[in-house]
Structure 1
Amino acid sequence: MPQAVIDTWSSIWEHFGSGESKHIRAYTTDFELYKSGHEVDIFIAIK
């Protein structure tokens, strides 16, 4: 797993854990879509 993906997940956890997000995670279906060797989209389930 590229370090950028690990760093992004850390940012996601921090964002939703801070209590400042206007969205609430659903924790149902989060996934990574690897488009190429240099591009990844991360999708987060929210309520």
Structure 2
Amino acid sequence: MSRLSREHEEIYDAIVRQDSDAARAAMRLHLTNSRERLRHAHEEAEAQR
């Protein structure tokens, strides 16, 4: 399972458990990681120019 899929699963599981603190933490981690993935992809694309 990919890291992205695991992040989505953690968010979903927390919501199903109605654990708002865990859902919030999982979402924040997901957004932080997504921002880093996008930054890295952008840097790689720029380096290939």
TM-score, normalized by length of structure 2? 0.40
Richer in strand (by share): 1
TM-score by length of 1: 0.41
Q: Which has the higher helix share?
A: 2
